[in-house]
Chain A
């Protein structure tokens, strides 16, 4: 019997152990290394704040600021684009149609974003299809330069990369709303817009928050988009971390990575405290366990 028990325990513990060993421990390790000291090309254990000093006093702090700004803009744009779609799919079409549409939105997300952004660089270039088209219809004479290697192209690339990812949590929370609330409000003669603002939107907030985190996570840690679509010396946290690794400054890379991860975990904790994750996953976990 005890053997069976042990096997059962092992079965359930396996995924938890996996996450602990390969995610929690490594993250803790990263945080520890951020306090280590550099000696030559290697690092040795220590309790130094050098990495954080360098980070908060150098150009990299502005990189953090830019990254946060971009992540915020992309998240808002993503929400504005994704929410109407999720709303429509969750409340206005049959389940089969909405499933099919959700799948269609999932496809571009799973196709490697790097490949998609290569194409974007071609599409937005001075002689690319967009500029050629604008010229063709006589809207412009000279190619529009800010389409590529600019804030615009980076934001577009990031939004197209991560917006599809935001639809699902939004849909999840919207589809879980009991329609009777909205109907009751409608029966009581409240106009649709007010109903939406007072009933539907607040009820979908867990999804909005989750979607925001997803959009933010992706954008904040992205390292290929600024390389492919960014302009002159474009730096976001993601590629700054890689280039710091390239100059063998592990404590600094670890410090930046920890700052990024900690920001995300902070959002996560907030979300966890504010909303019931099981209620949010209501559509998935049909009953409470």
Chain B
């Protein structure tokens, strides 16, 4: 009896030993690389997990880490979570320069070190040449966020229930009472509502992207009224929730991002992304360079190589196909001329996506504002909407 028990002990120790040996060998298999760039990202910079082109070109690995996108969440990671030591890049929606630069958390990006920067006419045309666009990525004349993707947001809907939708008003239409949803976020829902109210002369708002306290209050009052009438089914807080709202036909109209419409379509639901007459909420996403004073020059060089890679045509085509964002101007051409990597339908699709986003910039619209002058008022008023 005792012998058999001792056997069990021996065997289990042996197993543990083998397992830990296995783990060690796994680690040594990776030791060949020069190092790993830690890339915190909200999830959309992931080219399907395939960094092989970058790894084989530079010898550096990329460790993509999922982080939240909420303005304060990002600051939280950098200030509290030891983030400045851990992360090299933080890929988030822009417009965060004020808190990030003022707290010395990020460094300006030296665009002359990026070979793809100057041929990226999309960045030039839609971001750099538009003063509001530049405000979204720059601070005091310097570039702090590299705009990997450019996009305009509106609302999604299910035409089988709503017919054609061409205004944010559908969100607040009594016909769809209880069958609409909004995002729990003042930058998206708050600003789109402000755009709607302004464009339809329902409120006097000077600049929907940077409102005065009383303007914010007007917008939230409007939303609170609608909430009390039972207009909204949900204030969603996660991507999947928003997709499920469409897939399970919980709602017919919602304030969401275009990728959710794509995700719903992949699940066999005919969802559409509206082309609202009020215009789009414009934004761009890309990495900030985290300020780590102890970084070696080799690592910095590798980071710049990664930044350059994020503007390259293969990566651009891949990301456009996954999320439907506007990327480098050469993406479609690259996809067409590399049939081993992309099908001709995919090349076609990249072309369409790019044309689609470009046309969004023809509309009136407004740039997102993630850190408005009265950000405290925004936060407080939004808490009131939440609790109403």
Contacts and interface: CB of A to CB of B under 8 A. Distances in A.
Direct contact of A and B (CB under 8 A): yes
Interface of A: 40-42, 59, 62, 118, 121-122, 125-128, 145, 148-149, 227-228, 231-233, 235, 245-248, 250
A122 B234 contact: no
Interface residues of B, number: 32
B79 A42 contact: yes
B234 A121 contact: no
B215 interface: no
B233 interface: yes
Interface stretch (B69-77, B148-156, B278-286, B349-357): B69-77
B235 interface: yes
B238 A248 contact: no
Contacts of A227: 237-238
A67 to B, nearest CB: 14
Given A149-B233, A232-B227, 15 more contacts: A41-B79, A42-B79, A59-B387, A126-B248, A145-B178, A145-B233, A148-B250, A227-B238, A231-B234, A232-B235, A233-B386, A233-B387, A245-B76, A246-B68, A246-B72
B333 interface: no
A132 B210 CA distance: 46
A193 to B, nearest CB: 46
Nearest to B233: A149
Chain A interface helix/strand/loop/mixed = loop
Interface string B356-388: 000000000000000000000001000111111
Contacts of A62: 387
16 contacts: A40-B103, A59-B384, A59-B387, A62-B387, A125-B248, A125-B250, A127-B248, A145-B178, A148-B250, A227-B237, A231-B234, A232-B232, A233-B387, A248-B79, A248-B80, A250-B80
A121 B244 contact: yes
A34 to B, nearest CB: 16
A106 B383 CA distance: 38
A127 B234 contact: no
B184 A247 contact: no
B164 interface: no
A231 B248 CA distance: 16
B208 to A, nearest CB: 22
Interface string B214-253: 0000000000000100001111011011001000111000
A233 B184 contact: yes
A126 B244 CA distance: 11
B234 A41 contact: no
B270 to A, nearest CB: 15
